[in-house]
Amino acid sequence: MQHFLKLSDCTPEEIIELVDLADKLKYEKKNGIEHHILKGKTLGMIFQKSSTRTRVSFEVGMYDLGGMALFLSNRDLQIGRGEPVQDTARVLSSYLDGIMIRTFEQKEVEDLARYGSIPIINGLTDFCHPCQVIADLQTIREFKGGFKGLKFCYIGDGNNMANSLIVGGIKTGMSVAIGCPETYKPDAGIMKWAAENGDFTCTPDILAAAKDADVLYTDVWASMGQEEEAAQRRKVFEGYQINDEIMSVAKKDAIVLHCLPAHREEEITEKVFEAHAKDIFTEAENRLHAHKAIMVKLMAK
Ligand code: CP
Ligand code: NVA
């Protein structure tokens, strides 16, 4: 693995390897075992959108591994004033050992990898959020003991999270059901791939999607960059919510995940969120361990 740009680039074995390594690093951190595997290495973190979890967990993760992380805001970089990504990629490749980038277009991340000569990690684009899904898979295995035979249900916007969760879910052998409005489906290419490679459904009938689910997942109705559509989206997505009714048709021991930040009483009720706070905050914690695994895999050479 040279870069981590989207889950469709990874084999199922590579995904499981990352989850295994994340588990190992979690165990070691909890037991005070230090590994300065990335001693002397520097990660640049380019953020063109806001972040709490991704920023802090990559920065702390790099510190844990003996390296250092540089926060590079779009407001300060020349890239924010139009310097081409081809040039930025070549310049930064001569200073850094890896780049984590959060931006809008997937093409920008792919171009950074194409023109640079160091590992590139996708910290979220409008198209996908692969780092989040490694932590999500780690959390699912932690609570459920494995993946095969599980039903994974995502309710809400067919957005970047849905796209990555479909690929991660199918590649680990889960059955994946998406409950979303007809007009806000996940990426057509990803859905086609999922239908050809696993047990995949996408329906506006959220009760059917959630029936007998082992894992329920949701995300905001309006993602970063869609702030102006928020009011209109609130109307379209009304009812596309994880609530008591959804919980009543899922398995009794179903876990509930949310990538966060959450909008209570929109995509999830306060009651369900708080009842499953342990699942959701373990998932958030696992971002740290998952990101360390991704950095070790790409940068420890
Ligand atoms: N889930 C997630 O990526 O959180 P941040 O936007 O806070 O990084
Ligand atoms: N879909 C959300 C995910 C945030 C982690 C967004 O892109 O804003």
Helix, strand or coil, per DSSP, at residue 102? strand
Q: Which one from 3, 53, 102, 289 is the annotated catalytic residue?
A: 102
CB proximity list for 301: less than 8 A, separation 6 or greater: none
Supply the pLDDT for residue 35: 87
Please say if 259 is a catalytic residue. yes
pLDDT-flagged residues of the chain (< 50): none
Is residue 181 reached through a cis peptide bond, with omega within 30 degrees of 0 on the bond before it?
Answer: no
Rounded distance from Cα 220 to ligand 2 centre (Å): 7
Break the chain into its structural domains and give their ranges. Answer: 7-129+287-299, 132-284
CA 94-96-101 angle, to 5 degrees, is 115
Chain centroid offset of residue 75 CA: 24
Quote the radius of gyration of the chain (alpha carbons, Å).
19
Identify the pLDDT of residue 54: 98
Nearest alpha-carbon partner for 112 in 187, 46, 14: 46
Residue 219 Cβ inside 6 Å of ligand 2? The answer reads yes
pLDDT at 65: 98
175: left (phi over 0), alpha (psi -120 to 50) or beta: beta
Residue to mutate, 109, 220, 226, ligand 2, most ligand atoms under 8 Å from C-beta: 220
CB 20 within 8 A of CB 138: no
Q: How far is the CA of 289 from the centre of ligand 2 (A)?
A: 20
Q: Which CATH number applies to 7-129+287-299?
A: 3.40.50.1370
Backbone φ and ψ for 104, nearest 5 degrees, come out as -90, -65
Q: What is the pLDDT of residue 28?
A: 96
93: Cβ below 6 Å to ligand 2?
Answer: no
Q: Which ligand is nearest to the CA of 55?
A: 1
Task: Say whether 132-284 and 7-129+287-299 share the same fold.
Answer: yes
**Structure tokens belonging to residue 177:** 């059901």
Q: According to the model, what pLDDT value does residue 75 have?
A: 86
Alpha helix (H) residue ranges in the chain: 12-30, 53-64, 85-93, 106-115, 130-144, 160-171, 188-197, 206-210, 230-236, 244-249, 270-275, 277-299
Mutate to test the pocket of ligand 1, among 47, 53, 125 (most ligand atoms within 8 A of CB): 53
CB atoms under 10 Å from CB of 163, counted, come to: 27
pLDDT number for residue 74 = 85
> Has domain 132-284 been given CATH number 3.30.750.200?
no
Say what the pLDDT of residue 301 is.
76
Task: Name residue 289's amino acid.
Answer: H
> Pick from 113, 110, 46, 56: which is nearest to 76 by CA?
46
List the catalytic residue out of 3, 287, 289, 291. 287
Looking at residue 80, its pLDDT comes to: 87
pTM value is: 0.98
User: Cis link prior to 261 (omega < 30° from 0)?
Assistant: yes
